Structure 1
Amino acid sequence: MKKLNIKKSFKTSNFKYGGYSTLLTILVLAVLVAVNLVAGKLNIKKDLTQDKLYTLSEETSKILNNLQKDTKIMLFFETGKKDPNISAVMDKYKAASKKLIFEEHDPFKQPQLAQKYSKDGKNVGIGTIVVEQGNRFKTISYDDFFGYTVGSYGEENVDSFAAEQQLTNAIVYVNSDKEQILYTLSGHDESALSGDVISQLQVENYSVQDINLLQGNAVLNKGDMLIVNSPKRDISKDEAEKIKSFLKNGGRAAFFVDINKEVLPNLQELLSFYAIKLQNAVAVEGEANRVARSQLELLPELQSHEIINDIKSKNMLIFTPVAQGVEELKDKRETVKIESLLKTSDNSWAKTNLNTTTLTKEGKDLTGPFNIAVAITDEDNTTKAIAKLIVVGSSTFMNSNINQATNGANLDFIMNSFNWLQDKKDGTTLRPKTLTSESLTMTNLQKLSFSAMVVIILPAAILAAGVIVWLRRRHR
């Protein structure tokens, strides 16, 4: 039996290399421990979440820096049971502004205080946050801090964190002295705004009310905003004149108009005053990379405008299924400025026969490209008042399920449009931060390209590499 020489084993190359590895591991661990200790002492923290859940945006920082009055934020939680996620966000706000005063209250121990801030069916209970300045306050329930989607079995799933959006907009609201009213036109079988849009409008401090201009006492005032959402019947001449007068005095309006078999001459005449015409023809996209599934499900090209520049910079897509073009008329006043927001490709056409069963281009069909959405400004020569309009050849793109398919890009486009109409900068791009992996929206061309990569190109490359290695070894 061979005698083991322990002393000699310490001099082997294996021991030396093993010793170096062990020493290096100890040094790395020591550095990590030291870094953690220093970071703990200096309270250094890094937000590594995908959507920066605990980092305040530039918009919020700007708003907080411009606060002129002390604003109180009251947190109603059971003693010792405050949500750590909410605490982390509050710490960021506390560090960002000395104008924010934070208080913590237990609604069980202070029921009278909780009752004071309960209104409009909103009761202050566990998890409620109240933002107050002067005589104005806004309550935010715990559920408001999270976004939910309904699963295939009816279950609710948390998919976004909206703490910054809710808090910052509440701070803006209590520090503002005017109410932003948004009127939705009624009386013509208009479609209702989707729940997503209504909820977002309320978060961003808009008051949504219906208005029927056929009623004698109904009037639109400067500073109001009018939404005309997919009317099935035409407006009257009197209504058209009221809306035109409202716009000429600096009014703001958004028109979301679907393709309609019934002619809407009064609405068309109103829009022609601003040099546009709804084509009432179904847009068909011929470019594979500009559609979702069918040629009617458009993924129009985002143009350059402050409404969509942020969406465009994030490489997000806006989905507009079944839309019509918004045509710019040649007879246009010099004061009217029309800017394209969403546009189809050059290889697109529009079906003028709404009863057709084919998407193939026919003789009477219109030739693209088409503007699907435009922004319009018009300055009155006499009053110098500036009218602003958004016109979109579709309303279905505002549906909640379609918005979810674009990871919120459609809702961003809608809200940015409303904020642009109102010259509103605060909170323009504040949206809930996702807690889930984003769904991938792909065009048909992208799907085909990725399929070819996985099924053909990668296997072929691996096979080629294997053959090359085999040939080299064979000839050695």
Structure 2
Amino acid sequence: MITLNKKLRWHHLIQNGVFVILLLLLVILLGYLAAQTRLQWDVSQNGRNSLSEASVEILQKLQGPVQVTAYATEQHAQLGDIRKIIADFVALYQRVKPDLSLAFIDPVAQPILTQEADVQVNGEIVIKFNQRVEHLTAINEQAFSNALMRLARAEDKLIVALSGHGERRLDGSANYDLGEFGRHLRTNGFNSQPLNLAIEQDIPMNASMLMIASPQTDLLPGEVDKLLNYVDQGGNLLWLVDQESLRGLLPLTEMLRLTLTPGVVVDPQAEQLKAPVTFALGAIYGQHVITDNFDYITVFPFARQITIDESEEWSSVSLVEAAQQGWVETGDLNDVINFDQADDVAGPISIAVALTRNIQDREQRIVVVGSGHFLANTYLGNGSNLDFGINLINWLTGDEELIVIQPRATLDSNLILSESDLTLIAVVFLVLLPVLFLVSGTLIWWRRRRKI
């Protein structure tokens, strides 16, 4: 009997020993895998603990090292350990781009270096890439990624906007204007200036493109001639045209081989989404760099149809088709809106086109959109109008490799716990749970020992 008990004890001892060895091996293996593999799940509302797809795309387009220098003291009066905040934030970018380096300089200990870098505030970040420099005083993804976008441009791009006829202004604050869009253009590294052809002799040679945004009065014949000469010489153009008169620009449509149908696009699908039927919803896009992987809804209020005429000179693509079950309404919008087969044009309706041709050993690029409203301050926030508009500008200025969805501001707010909440969490995890595990382990050991 004694021999049997000894055998059982040796059996349990060996069994427990093997179990401990296997457990240790498992822990070591898991530790090795944890050191070699990094997995991360971001469960925050807007992915605040990981980079957006747009930011990742921007980083992938930066060919070469990026130097980030943070001019920050060890402690910040309001933010505390600001260096840790910056390091944790920049680490999100370093995971995607390992050659993005981060260095810290104490502005108090090294005032000369701080002054040479033209740093103004504690915590300011200086980003360098390809001999170009950007300064940031805000620590968030939208600001940082937009700075990288500006650095990614090989040179500054100038957009000239026709003025003098009541056009929508890129710096205007009225609902009709494009001021908010202009602000985003500047954020993305574009410069803009108005151009009055009644005063200026010609369109500047350093302009990357010209924008015509819904003139409200007729252009003078001499101004039209200057525009036609600009296009004839290969200038890039964005023309936002509304349902009103062409204001003397009919010769431009003839040069581009386009027909702009009178009337307003009516889209019954918009009404189903509780929007006015005069809001044409863009969801079907042509095969083009501008719309590549662009799977978002755009909204074009009071749009008009643009028909591409056959031409051997121009290569053309319909960028946006809307109103699949709609039509072009030629009647009074204040009356009952119904499709009239005799006068109206049935959908689908093309409301934006892109044109190209080879001239003077380069590709000329032109985009005509049948709605100036879609970039106006009132409607820019609808759908993905901003993204589509920035894509247009990137392509027209020759920066199609920078076409990405614009980084969004973080929506999440911080979780703030009171002292009592922190105390409760500490008691549960540091006291109650360990005691529970200890008691459970002791009971299991005692029961097993009794069986032996």
Q: 1:168 — aligned with what?
A: 148
Query: Does 2:366 correspond to 1:372?
Result: no
2-side partners of 1:423 and 1:137: how far apart? 22
User: What's the CA shift string for 1:280-309, capped at 9, x where partnerless?
Assistant: 411112446876522112213322322123
2-side partners of 1:336 and 1:124: how far apart? 51
1-side partners of 2:247 and 2:408: how far apart? 43
Q: What amino acid is the match of 2:396? A: L
2:311 to 328, 333, 341: 333
Deviation, structure 1 residue 135: 5.7
Query: Does 2:91 correspond to 1:91?
Result: yes
1:404 to 371, 376, 381: 381
Q: What amino acid is the match of 1:172? A: A
Q: How does 1:174-185 map to 2 (within 5 A)?
A: 176=154, 178-185=155-162
Q: What amino acid is the match of 1:63? A: K
* 8 Å CA contact retained: 2:329, 2:344: yes
Deviation, structure 1 residue 384: 4.2
Query: Does 2:302 correspond to 1:322?
Result: yes
1-side partners of 2:136 and 2:333: how far apart? 49
User: What's the CA shift string for 1:153-180, capped at 9, x where partnerless?
Assistant: xxxxxxxx4155224224324xx3x321
Q: What amino acid is the match of 1:73? A: V
Q: How does 1:15-164 map to 2 (within 5 A)?
A: 37-38=31-32, 41-42=35-36, 44-49=38-43, 51=47, 54-55=50-51, 59-64=57-62, 66-67=63-64, 71-80=66-75, 81-82=81-82, 86-94=86-94, 100-118=100-118, 124-132=120-128, 136-142=132-138, 145=140, 161-163=141-143
Query: Does 2:248 correspond to 1:266?
Result: yes
SS at match of 1:310: coil
* 8 Å CA contact retained: 2:160, 2:207: no
Q: What amino acid is the match of 2:106? A: D
Structure 2 residues without counterparts, runs of 5 or longer: 1-22, 76-80, 171-177, 413-452
* 8 Å CA contact retained: 1:117, 1:124: no
Query: Does 2:375 correspond to 1:392?
Result: no
Deviation, structure 1 residue 321: 1.9
2-side partners of 1:373 and 1:396: how far apart? 13
Q: Judging changes above 3 Å, is the alpha-carbon distance between structure 1 residues 239 and 47 closer, same or farther for their aligned structure 2 residues?
A: farther
Q: 1:448 — aligned with what?
A: none
1-side partners of 2:247 and 2:380: how far apart? 31
Q: Judging changes above 3 Å, is the alpha-carbon distance between structure 1 residues 128 and 30 closer, same or farther for their aligned structure 2 residues?
A: farther
User: What's the CA shift string for 1:132-157, capped at 9, x where partnerless?
Assistant: 357642212206x3xxxxxxxxxxxx
2-side partners of 1:32 and 1:217: how far apart? 79
Q: Judging changes above 3 Å, is the alpha-carbon distance between structure 1 residues 83 and 208 closer, same or farther for their aligned structure 2 residues?
A: farther
Q: 2:421 — aligned with what?
A: none
Q: Which has the higher Rg, Structure 1 or Structure 2?
A: 2
Structure 1 residues without counterparts, runs of 5 or longer: 1-28, 146-160, 438-476
Q: 1:352 — aligned with what?
A: 330
Q: What amino acid is the match of 2:60? A: K
Query: Does 2:270 correspond to 1:276?
Result: no
350-359 vs 392-401, greater mean Cα deviation: 350-359
1:308 to 270, 285, 291: 291
SS at match of 1:139: strand
Q: Judging changes above 3 Å, is the alpha-carbon distance between structure 1 residues 427 and 264 closer, same or farther for their aligned structure 2 residues?
A: closer
Deviation, structure 1 residue 104: 1.3
Q: What amino acid is the match of 2:344? A: D
Query: Does 2:190 correspond to 1:190?
Result: no
Q: Judging changes above 3 Å, is the alpha-carbon distance between structure 1 residues 134 and 302 closer, same or farther for their aligned structure 2 residues?
A: closer
User: What's the CA shift string for 1:222-267, capped at 9, x where partnerless?
Assistant: 662111112111222322222232223332111112222xx33521
Q: Judging changes above 3 Å, is the alpha-carbon distance between structure 1 residues 98 and 58 closer, same or farther for their aligned structure 2 residues?
A: closer
* 8 Å CA contact retained: 1:184, 1:208: yes
1-side partners of 2:24 and 2:375: how far apart? 55
Q: How does 1:197-212 map to 2 (within 5 A)?
A: 197-212=181-196
1-side partners of 2:327 and 2:266: how far apart? 5
2-side partners of 1:352 and 1:32: how far apart? 75
Deviation, structure 1 residue 212: 1.5
2-side partners of 1:85 and 1:433: how far apart? 20
SS at match of 2:275: coil
SS at match of 1:207: strand
Q: Judging changes above 3 Å, is the alpha-carbon distance between structure 1 residues 288 and 249 closer, same or farther for their aligned structure 2 residues?
A: closer
1-side partners of 2:186 and 2:49: how far apart? 22
* 8 Å CA contact retained: 2:303, 2:370: yes
Q: 1:431 — aligned with what?
A: 406
Percent of aligned pairs with the same amino acid:
22
